[in-house]
Amino acid sequence: MYTTNFMQGFYRRLPDVLPRRAACAGLFVVMGSAALLMQATVAQESRIDQLSADGEAQVIAWRRDFHQFPELSNREFRTAGVVEEALRGMGLEVETGIAHTGVVAYLRGTSERPLVALRADMDALPVTEATGLPFASTVRTEFAGQEVGVMHACGHDTHMAMLLGVAQNLVALRDDLPGSVLFIFQPAEEGAPEGEEGGAELMLKEGLFDRYRPDAIFGMHAFSNLHTGQIGYRAGSIMASADRFRLTVHGRQTHGGRPWDGVDPIVTAAQIITGVQTIVSRQVDLTRAPAIVSFGAINGGIRNNIIPDSVELVGTIRNLDMGTRDMVHERLRTTVSAIAESAGAQADLEIIEMYPVTANDPGLTLQMLPTIERVVGRENMVEAEPRTVAEDFSFFALEVPGLYLTLGVTPPDVDAATAPANHSPLFYVDEAALVTGVRVLTHLTVDYMSGP
């Protein structure tokens, strides 16, 4: 309205300003160019939305196929084949076999730069599905020496389907794209099998970002704690680092009736468990960022009257700040060693660093918030609380500026606070959410390329 009124007034005063036509010529050019640019932008936005709507049925079909035939980490062979076939069918340059089963595709627009990376994860979980969906998984396989069901209980089927939908959109827009796109279909986000490497870390180790160095990377995760159509965002730390540890307490075996003849690793382990709780409660500045140290299993001894030689414990460490993470690791080593020594025992502690903190680049987040608002509306934007689950998107975001969003997938008539959570055998996705994800990721890509 402001621009329209200004122009009307300008035209009414045109006879008065004609003598200054040389100066006015520049103004006409600028204003005309701005108007044309605005018209082109609106037209492109409408085209993206129309392409997304037209491709919705195909995205849902892809999602149902992935859901019905899930595969575990580093075993995504069929999944990778479906992804590859779809990408090649779009005419994209495709690489396969990255980090075992990963697939990447390159879309060259009108310019090499900026290069935007978009990432989806591919693997499913050892969970037996209980949703009763007509396309529910009936796949069974072996995991950790046991026969298990396999289910896309964390939404990775939706991530792949949405990214294929985005690729389809951007291929249609190729001639107008002021940049290029790298589509990353990443295996083993849930963690590689014991003794194997995998996931984002291995893709980078194999040189993915040496061959293609993105200017920014975007990702999206389906979550049941938000309703369909809602988008969760947060600048800074959004998901925790995740590390695991293995602790063996060595004592000296003896008769249970004569504990003084040996060193009791069970009592020592109990003291360690209690002592470790003070790391978070008394030594971590929790006003800076939350931290967690949890023991998940303890194993030792075989008989009621035998004090064993050793006890084994395993657990997890979670942090939302990388500096806190280092400090917790150091304090854990010190606490374990000191308590064991005080009891005459020996402790062997192994900390296995897995995923860093997933942190959204603050500048990139601020830059892209207007795009998200335009696509879903301010009422559907939710500033997300940090989560103590982990994501190996974090490795990519350590290399280049990253923005990782969450997508609500719980129907509006269901309480999102009580909906079955990710990793549940009842985890349910409202497929109406998928077109929202496709639209958001497509608009983010195009808007980022077009500049702030």
Just list the catalytic residues: 355, 431
Q: What is the set of domains in the chain, with CATH numbers?
A: 52-240+360-450 (3.40.630.10), 241-355 (3.30.70.360)
DSSP 179: S
DSSP 375: H
Contact by Cβ (8 Å): 117, 445 = no
In the chain, the amino acid numbered 114 is P
Sorted by sequence, the CB contacts under 8 Å of residue 44 that are 6+ apart come out as: 173, 176, 446
Which alpha helices (H) appear in 219-361, and where do they start and end? 265-278, 322-342
Contact by Cβ (8 Å): 354, 194 = no
d(CA 317, CA 133) in angstroms, rounded, equals 36
DSSP 235: S
Other Cβ atoms closer than 10 A to 140: 12
38 pLDDT tier (thresholds 50, 70, 90): low
3-state secondary structure of 296: strand
What DSSP element (H or E) covers 439? helix 434-450
Task: Check whether 36 has a pLDDT greater than 70.
Answer: no
Tokens matching residue 270: 């109990």
d(CA 403, CA 318) in angstroms, rounded, equals 21
106-158 confidence digits (pLDDT tens): 999 999 999 999 999 999 999 999 999 999 999 999 998 999 999 999 999 99
| Angle, alpha carbons 291-227-53 (nearest 5°) | 125
> Is the backbone peptide bond immediately before 114 cis, with ω within 30 degrees of 0?
yes
294-322 confidence digits (pLDDT tens): 999 999 999 999 999 999 999 999 999 99
pTM beyond 0.95: no
- Beta-strand relationship, 115-121 and 216-227: parallel
The distance of Cα 21 from the centroid of its chain, to the nearest Å, equals 56
Taking Cα atoms as reference points, which of 127, 76, 186, 17 lies closest to residue 423?
127
25 pLDDT tier (thresholds 50, 70, 90): low
d(CA 87, CA 105) in angstroms, rounded, equals 7
